[in-house]
Structure 1
Amino acid sequence: MRKERYGQREQGQAILKGAALLGGAALVSKLIGTLQKIPLQNFGGDEVFGLYSAVYAFAVLWLTLAAAGLPTAVSALVAEREAEGDELGAQRIVRWSLGLLSVSGLIAFTALQLGAGLFSEWMGVPEAASAIRTSSIALLFAPAAAALRGYRQGQMSMLRPAVSQLIEQSARVAFMLMMLGIAVGAGWSGPATAAAVHGGLAAGAAAGLIVMLWPEKSSGKAGVWIRRKAAASTSGNTTTKRMFYWQEPRLALVKRIAGIALPVAAVSVVAPLFGLIDAFTIPRLLQREGADAVSAISQFGVYNRGIALLQLVLMAAAGAAAALVPALTTERVRGDDAAAAERAAFTLRLAWWFGGAAAAGLALLAVPVDIALFADDNGSAVMALLAPAALFGALQAVSGALLQGRGDLRSPAVNLAAAAVFKLALNAALVPAYGITGAAAAMVAAYASAAVLNALSLRSRLAVAGPSLAIAWRSAAALAFMAAAVAATGFALGALTHSLPHRAGALLTALPGVAVGLAAFAAGLIAAGAVGPQQWRELPGLSAASRADVWLLRLHAALRRQTPSSPHSREG
């Protein structure tokens, strides 16, 4: 019995490590994809950046439609077959999944190749047709790579899918930068440059597929294909075991794959909707108000400067939120609603702090950040207006994860879809009158509505206590202290770096401003009594007696006039 428990514990640890590996790879991959937008705008300009952003949102939707859900279905069904020892059945699942995804990818590729002109007209950007056609080549490779990643995950082998994701993103960015250099050096037009850099989607997808198909040197396996086990050991003697498995009919297998894949795909399609709505509405609405096509797409590029920074904040919040799901799921299975409610309340408080600090910092440092990253301050007003979306987006991501941990996969998707419809209506109302600043206000309102809907859904499933008045004013005081520190730092460094080159001075203002803001906010939370040792020790890397914990205890003692060993805290 003890040996069995030890084996189960080891298996559980392996699963958690694999999930962390895959989640970390996804996070790094998204970070690379977001940061590559900076050189694209710097060298290509706002027109190329706007074209790229519009087509990329469209391409992501098609890639999601062609592949979403199948990796999850493959992973679940392969794990089921592996648990039964039916390796040939697992191979049959991956073959059928590869076939289905290859067909869906080919259909999507054909649709984009033939309909690129029509889709670009719907966007209001006819120049985007060539970029749409180039991006569609990725559909010939990405679905198959997704199926093979699902197969490996079903075998509890996470290393190769993680490496494949990183290689895919790295190859995409490398190809994009190479083509950007060629296009800028040769003086290509904006549409031609956007089409060239979109070839990176296909290059990355092909690289990711090659990694999944690459033979394993250690085992002699030919890529993904598995071999049957010819022998088994019984009491020290090697004997041949012949196992027979009843194969389900092909139609039944396809139905099982679709039964798992389609609901997951429906949820996945919701995520790119905000970007797709912007791509199909903002350029067209700007042109209706008198802007020419080039000016409209350039303004859309300026708008996407703020969106790129917003995505960095939301990516961090989503990555942290994903780590909550296993613990919340465990508490739900145990029926420990009190512990789940307490964890949910503290997690939402963390989301408020993280999102509020990010929003305040982005609003106050919008001008130096815009100049440092994108060479001018044309997008600083939009960045400042988008800043509150960092707060609401963080709350939406965390509350969505809390709902998933409670077993509710439907509500976050439905709430986000409703917010997307709200965003569409607001774009139609605000962009004609206020341009891209109206689009920024619409984004803030859309994320706020998604956060509110998620909060209502969560309250109906878990008795989460609202923030007390003491915690509210202490948090507000810490945020006000941070804002004052950042504003003062920005003003002082702006004066000191005035004689330096424009971007260098902005960079030397923005980076210290971010560092001062983080330190001031942490100190403010501790000084006001909003956070104590009991709370920060729940965070990763801040366990008792760790180096960070010791430093925070000293800061806590200095700010609260207590000794480091004191267990008391006025945290509410």
Structure 2
Amino acid sequence: MNRVNNQDNSKSGSLLKGTLILTVAGVVVKVIGSLNWIILSRVLGGEGIGLYQMAFPIYLLALTLSTAGIPTAISIITAEKVALRDYRGANRVFKLSLAFLAFSGLVLSCLVYFGAGWLIEQQIIRDARAYPAILALAPAVFLVTMLASFRGYLQGWQMMVPTAVSQILEQLFRVGAMLTFAAWLLPWGLEYAAGGASIGAGVGAAAGLVVLLYYYVRLQRRHDHGSIRDLENRAETNAGLATRLVELALPVSLSSLMLPLVANLDLLVVPVRLEAAGYTIEQATELFGYLTGMAVPLINLATIITAALAISLVPAVAEAQSMGNTQQIRQHTTAALRLTALVTIPAAVGMGVLAIPLATAVYHAPAAGPVVQVLAGGVYFLGIHQVTTSILQGMGHTVLPLINMGIAAVVKVGLNWSLAALPSLGILGAGWATNADFVVAAMLNLVYVYRYTGFRVDIAVLAKIVAAAAVMGVVLYEANAVLFDTIGATAAIFADILLAAGVYGIILMVLGELTEQDLRRVPFVGEFLAKITVIFRRYRQ
């Protein structure tokens, strides 16, 4: 029994380690991307950025269609095969899916390249100067599709380092190429400079692909596929594998398409209803920008850890599911949702308290602060939705999150229509509608997670986390007023984050919710922090 518990604890530790690796990579990628955007904006100016942005949605749509949720399906089936030590079967799944993705990526790349002129002629792209940018992005569709297939396979082995390293190198090469080609081609005209910037997507993808190929070859050498037992190869045909890939991938793909669909519904509904509330077209556009261009990115930034956790969860849960280990699934679920609460609840409180200072420091737009404050209330539920979606996908129930997202989207559209038109709410009404979307999707997912795993939310643990976050919020509110006036908006934000983290951590240790085991998993300073918990434990006794 102790051996089983030790194995399960090791699995949970591996899950958290993978999450940490992807989180660090995500932060690095975002920092590099932010610096790039600042420099590129200075090179191209607003008009050049606009030309680049006109081409980019076409690229994203083609990429979504070319991958079609297959990488997540690869991750799930590979994890199942690896758990059963069917390494040859795992490799066969990858080769089959790679062939499919290579074909779909090539077709979509060609459609983007040869269809660029048609998009301009039909005025789907309104400015003809975006043509070079569309052409430059076409090869990247194929390369990123291939990149996604290798990431899915290696994640199925629960190897998160290759994904992290490839993400960082992809971003570095992408940014370097964007800035180099944009500056080099600028003398030939703004449209060519925008096209030069678009080349960066393909260059970055090629660099990331080289990294993943290295890890893939190393993995193949590590396992002698000829000597490993082949448990299912004889029984499972290529047609059967292809059918299973599609069954898993299609709902995931539709879920990915749901996000831009809901965003487009917001675009259609919110500005119109703001005008019905009495705002002018210009005011409605500005308010819509506060919501979608400022508040939503901050909310997404607050859930960067849960987004990384969601990636790590899919293969971990799929492995346990294939072994019939319900205890391990429940342990993964408990650990993941506890970490979600530990991270997102203080993030929600901190963002709520610092909403106006954040909007001022980041966007120089204090008027966006109230919208940020409203959306802060949805951070915890967004994190829950991300994590529970991955749990259900890992268990093979990929259709359920899609259905729940659809129900939540209907609720959101209905509330947008009614609340945004109220003069007393306006854009804040659209913010509350977005929160309702997160809550409905998260709660529906939780119902099914309970049904399939038996997981229940520990109210006592949640109460301690909320209490610690509340104390942190009070201290943060009092301290920020002094810091903001003393050292300025930007420096105050960084000081506030450090102060909040310290206060929150201390309160959790006093309450006994942050354990030695939790802290030992923190890189570099984990052992030191774990010793501090001993002091607080003696104090409580």
Partner of 2:103: 99
State the shift of 1:549 in Å.
1.0
Aligned twin of 1:513: 496
> Does the 8 Å contact 1:303/1:379 carry over to 2?
no
- Tell me, in whole angstroms, the C-alpha distance in 2 between the residues paired with 1:86 and 1:456: 32
The equivalent residue for 1:533 is 515
2:366 partner SS: coil
* CA distance in 2 between partners of 1:438 and 1:517 (Å): 29
**Does 2:205 match 1:205?**
yes
Q: Could you tell me how far apart the structure 2 residues matched to 1:341 and 1:157 are?
A: 22
Q: Deviations over 1:423-455 (max 9, x none)?
A: 444445555666654443332221111111111
Residue from 33, 36, 40 that aligns with 1:36: 33
- Return the TM-score normalized by structure 2: 0.72
Residue of structure 2 equivalent to 1:309: 298
Q: Which has the larger displacement, 265-274 or 87-96?
A: 87-96
Measure, in 2, the Cα distance between the counterparts of 1:304 and 1:260: 35
Q: In 2, are the aligned partners of 1:328 and 1:340 still within 8 Å (CA)? A: yes
Match of 1:141 in 2: 143
**Matches of 2:380 and 2:339, distance apart in 1:** 11
Partner of 2:348: 359
**1:173 equivalent among 166, 172, 175:** 175
Aligned match of 1:480 in 463, 470, 479? 470
Deviation of the 1:32 alpha carbon: 1.2
Q: CA deviation at 1:484?
A: 0.6
Structure 1 73/320 Cα, relative in aligned 2: closer, same or farther at 3 Å?
Answer: closer
Deviations 1:262-311 (A, max 9, x none): 63243044236334532564278537848668994895377322222222
Q: Say if 2:357 is the partner of 1:368.
A: yes
Is 1:551 the counterpart of 2:540? The answer is no
Query: Are the equivalent residues in 2 in contact too, given 1:50–1:299 (CA < 8 A)?
Result: no
Q: 1:330 to 1:541 in 2, by over 3 A?
A: farther
| Shift, 1:141, TM fit | 3.0
1:326-369 C-alpha deviation (Å, 9 max, x unpaired): 66566656766567557645643442332111011112122333
Instruction: Please tell me the residue identity of whatever aligns with 1:477.
Output: A
Q: Please state how far the C-alpha of 1:173 moved relative to its aligned partner.
A: 2.9
- The equivalent of 1:64 in structure 2 is 64
Partner in structure 1 of residue 263 of structure 2: 278
Q: Could you tell me how far 1:385 is from its partner in structure 2?
A: 2.2
Structure 2 matches for 1:35-434, cutoff 5 A? 36-37=33-34, 40=37, 43=41, 56=56, 59-71=59-71, 83-84=87-88, 94=98, 97-107=101-111, 109-110=113-114, 114-115=118-119, 120=124, 135-147=137-149, 163-178=165-180, 197-209=197-209, 253=238, 256-257=241-242, 259-261=244-246, 263-271=248-256, 273-279=258-264, 281-282=266-267, 286=271, 289=275, 296=285, 300=289, 303-324=292-313, 341=330, 344-345=333-334, 347-404=336-393, 406-430=395-419
Write the letter of the residue equivalent to 2:531: V
Larger-gyration structure (1/2): 1
Distance in 1 (CA, whole Å) between partners of 2:54 and 2:283 is: 13
Residue pair 1:25, 1:163 contacting (<8 A) in 2 also: no
Secondary structure of 2:456's counterpart equals coil
Change (3 A) 1:293 1:490: closer
Find the aligned partners of 1:284 and 1:50 in 2 and give their Cα distance. 23
Equivalent residue for 1:492, pick from 482, 501, 510: 482
Aligned to 2:456: 465
State the Cα deviation string for residues 112-159 of structure 1 (Å, max 9, x = none): 6634676857xxx87996566664452243224444556777899987
> What is the rounded CA distance, in whole Å, between the counterparts of 1:126 and 1:293 in structure 2?
22
Q: In structure 2, how many angstroms separate the alpha carbons of the residues matched to 1:494 and 1:532? A: 30
Partner of 1:241: none
> Does structure 2 retain, via aligned residues, the 8 Å contact 1:50–1:298?
no
- Matched-pair contact (CA < 8 Å) for 2:105–2:141: no
**Structure 1 CA distance for aligned equivalents of residues 421 and 250 of structure 2:** 33
Work out whether residues 167 and 208 of structure 2, in 8 Å CA contact, stay in contact via their aligned partners in 1: yes
Deviates more, 1:352-361 or 1:206-215: 206-215
What is the distance in 1 between the residues matched to 2:536 and 2:421?
51
Structure 2 distance, partners of 1:402, 1:382, is 31
Shift of 1:167: 2.7
Kindly provide the CA deviation profile for residues 86-105 of structure 1, in whole angstroms up to 9, marking residues without a partner as x.
99998787556533432244
C-alpha change, 1:516 and 1:446, in structure 2 (3 Å) is same
Q: Secondary structure at the match of 2:503?
A: helix
2:428 is the counterpart of 1:447 = no
The amino acid that maps onto 1:36 is: G
Q: Which residue matches 1:236?
A: none
Query: d(CA) in 1 for partners of 2:100 and 2:349?
Result: 50
**Equivalents in 2 of 1:215, 1:460: separation in Å?**
38
Q: Distance in 2 between matches of 1:521 and 1:315?
A: 19
Higher mean alpha-carbon deviation, 200-209 vs 51-60, is at: 51-60
Identical columns (%): 22
The amino acid that maps onto 1:506 is A
Shift of 1:412: 2.6
SS in structure 2 of the partner of residue 511 of structure 1: helix
AA aligned opposite 2:60? V
Change (3 A) 1:179 1:142: same
Higher share in helix: 2
How big is the shift at 1:63? 0.8
Aligned to 2:447: 456
Closer, same or farther: CA 310–194 of 1 in aligned 2, 3 Å: farther
> 1:67 offset after TM fit, Å?
1.9
d(CA) in 1 for partners of 2:122 and 2:203?
25
* 1:511–1:147 Cα change, 3 Å: closer
Q: For 1:440, give the aligned amino acid.
A: G
Unaligned runs of 5+ in 2: 1-9, 228-232
User: What is the one-letter code of the residue matched to 1:282?
Assistant: L
Q: Distance in 2 between matches of 1:143 and 1:342?
A: 33
Deviates more, 1:71-80 or 1:129-138: 71-80
Equivalenced residues, count: 511
CA–CA distance in 2 between the matches of 1:294 and 1:193? 32
2:168 is paired with a residue whose SS is helix
For structure 1, which segment, 354-363 or 389-398, has the greater mean C-alpha deviation from structure 2 after superposition?
A: 389-398
